[in-house]
Chains A and B, each alone.
Chain A
């Protein structure tokens, strides 16, 4: 018998709000422990929560982005359990009236090659609710330490239906979700900083059946590859158990990323009774349609919609669009530059190849003292890139010269025109001069000339190379090609 997996994901995303969910304390990563705290964060006697408007607004934004139904009223519930990372020993969350219900995440499966678009599908969501994050525990030999900097940060829990069927789909789902949220400015979704965390509910069933098997929840999937590997392992474990006639126990298991296996944490019988009840310290929030409409108007284009537009309206190849569309600032950069030229596909090529390469060099940290360069402080403006592309298009410089100029533009901030003038790099299209050089190249390399005449097309490249070398790369390649062919065939 063959088995298939059914997977549902619970993704926790930290919203990048200015302040915490219930008090005016800043949020941030990497601050000294327990500095982003106050009486409310620490749950001191008498401290009370006050709702953060920005957190609600960003939650609505996520809901609209993912096509959810936005609740007209949402309320706050206490989820009660004892754990040292939780200052109050209850978490303020949403139980029966989540801020968003339904919705979907469009995913794309890998195509045949990176240049080919894969198949698309919409994964259904159950709900999205807003809650506060907990602190962070670190365990030592005889002690455990707790840092409440993260405690009270707004956290969205995005719950999918059991609508994913393979580790690849899980990977595609997380990638798409992350692209949407990052590009909408909701969260940085950096898994290493814990800004995006994931639990997976996995079950297996015989292929062809449509009832769900016993589900197992996997926790501690803290990296995207961890999610893929953890899900893959768990599917294998359950399939093997089923094939061997064992039954699956409903339980929560923990993924161990070093040893690469899951181990039991607790069974259904040990599950918490969270004693949910409405938080009497907080009033329900009424979400007026006006508010939703205003947020809807400000909603950015979804990454996959953008990708489709770039392909159909701007004629970009799929490979360029897939490199661009997960990164909204990069798309904005590209669009600014592209509108200044007639050749958006060429501009896209420069952005995804040369610009991204230069940016990634500064990030690789060869020189730790050098400033990390991002699009915000990049010295090549979209206008400057457009100018460079225009110089190639109007024949002022060759593509090769442009490729050499770009790193210098990136490091010095000089424009392409300035550099061309400074270095005297304008392309040489002088027919007489080029003809002389071509004739000389043929005379100097009769072997290559003979081969070309004998039908070996590639032999012309040696002759071109000689002419380019003689002009330090400035000869117009098209003129050189035409001239050589004319001389060789006449």
Chain B
């Protein structure tokens, strides 16, 4: 295999080539490193790249292969990680200045699982600071650009993870999704991105944004690759009390089993105003495809849809205000040089170390939890969250999965929404309720605009039924494979 073939291949294809001996992990890893060097100046998906370490991991994988001692199916395949996932000995900045000099002394559980599967951990991927944002413009280290149009955002917060896969800088990557942070950038960059059921993937080692919503998930060119990566990182973890004690099926095998056509729901509240016409057109084509395959399309209602954005911004900011308190300039975070007393250390280190959006959300969240306001904001938001979850429970008595656009618009231009937080918050309107209900959701590329920007459709499944959701997505992706199309860079 030559370099262009390597970097355009899917992970599944790379695994086949590794198995047949037509390529080594060192060759694969080197090809990606070369690609990163060639295109990342434009894309800026990476915050940190440890070439030597990657090649040494690849070499060890090749040696294991020679000895016939492979660790797992992903042995030798590179995976990029969003810079909120801990890897022992590697930096973890969360794209914040406050963690500029922090090196993680331990592995996240997903990191350990990838290492145990033999994956080559390659590079730290850019994001909105502490995963707060929908455009990756909030990174303290500069934005990531959309590989399909460098003047457009890649989405966020996992914009580095989606752009790196789209730009063919890695075959697979991990992101985290709190209100759409995997699915929205996947849609905007034309790749597959999935948020599993809350509790399917351990959060241990993931720098927390909003603990009750955060979930790690995969990015890939295809649903099949996403299934492969997901089954590698899923499973119960005794180090995460919110992790489900359930077995992990082999998703990558199950999606290739024959699937009986089932019922797909279209929530009418999602198809109202605010949706871009080209997005609508692509979604309608996808609906037609499923219908032609024998799927039944059902009109459903999720009446609390309009409450999800406000509920989310109370719960997520409340949890964040507490989760981010540890970044205080006392221990491992950068301390302000202007600090003259203890209060200064807190106020100035945090004032200088955090960006505007992070400060905005910490203040909002602290306010929502304040005595006298708790009942009106946090408690009421939690109650409304239950209503949102009930809506989905109700819907799933009628349908097997829900089909919606992932994002109301294709990728927008830099600066277009960054001055207006509310319009930025609304770009997650289709994805947020999934997190509030703890359900799995996947974004699958479903076409392009006339100007060549990717469009994604979202499928939302029932809790813990990842296998079913992936299978439904695979039916479409296997036929269309929009994610296999690469941008010209």
Contacts and interface: CB of A to CB of B under 8 A. Distances in A.
Q: Do A and B come from one complex?
A: yes
Interface of A: 38-39, 42-51, 78, 80, 82, 84, 87-90, 146, 273, 275-277, 280-283
The number of chain B residues touching the other chain, given as a range, is: 35 or more
A280 B206 contact: no
Contacts of A38: 106
Given A39-B106, A43-B326, A282 B241 contact: yes
Contact of A42 (B212, B328, B331): B331
A78 B240 contact: no
A37 to B, nearest CB: 11
Interface stretch (B8-16, B152-160, B288-296, B364-372): B364-372
Contacts of A44: 86, 104-106, 332
A84 B342 contact: yes
A82 B330 CA distance: 11
A87 B342 CA distance: 15
Contacts of B242: 280-281, 283
Interface stretch (B17-25, B220-228, B256-264, B317-325): B317-325
A95 to B, nearest CB: 11
Nearest to A282: B241
A203 B238 CA distance: 47
A45 B207 contact: yes
A277 B331 contact: no
A45 B204 contact: no
A281 B241 contact: yes
Interface of B: 84-86, 92, 94, 99, 102, 104-106, 108, 203-208, 210-212, 238-242, 318-319, 321-322, 325-326, 328, 330-332, 342, 346, 366, 369-371, 374, 378
4 cross-chain pairs, A with B, having the tightest CB-CB distances, nearest first: A89-B325, A45-B207, A280-B212, A275-B369
A164 B366 CA distance: 38
Given A48-B239, A273-B370, A277-B318, A90 B325 contact: yes
A39 B92 CA distance: 14
A48 B371 contact: no
Given A277-B378, A282-B241, A45 B94 contact: yes
Nearest to B371: A273
Given A48-B239, A50-B239, A51-B241, A78 B322 contact: yes
A39 B322 contact: no
B211 to A, nearest CB: 4
A490 B102 CA distance: 101
A48 B241 CA distance: 8
A78 B99 CA distance: 23
A45 B325 contact: no
B86 A88 contact: no
A80 B108 contact: no
Contacts, number: 95
Contacts of A50: 238-241
| Most chain A Cβ neighbours within 10 Å, of B102, B239, B240 | B239
11 contacts: A45-B94, A45-B207, A48-B240, A48-B241, A80-B325, A84-B330, A87-B326, A89-B325, A275-B322, A277-B318, A277-B374
A45 B102 contact: yes
B197 to A, nearest CB: 16
A441 B485 CA distance: 123
Contacts of B108: 46
A46 B104 CA distance: 10
Contacts of A42: 331-332
Contact of A48 (B204, B331, B369): B204
A46 B326 contact: no
Nearest to A80: B322
Contacts of A89: 325-326, 328
B93 to A, nearest CB: 10
B446 to A, nearest CB: 34
A280 B325 CA distance: 15
A259 B206 CA distance: 49
Given A44-B106, A89-B328, A281-B242, 11 more contacts: A38-B106, A45-B92, A46-B85, A46-B104, A48-B240, A50-B241, A80-B322, A90-B325, A277-B322, A280-B210, A280-B319
A273 B366 CA distance: 10
Nearest to A84: B330
Contacts of B99: 45
| Most chain B Cβ neighbours within 10 Å, of A50, A87, A88, A280 | A280
A43 B374 CA distance: 25
Nearest to A50: B241
B204 A47 contact: yes
Contacts of B326: 43, 45, 87-89
A392 B342 CA distance: 69
A430 B223 CA distance: 105
Nearest to B333: A45
B369 A277 contact: yes
Contacts of B325: 80, 82, 88-90
Nearest to B365: A275
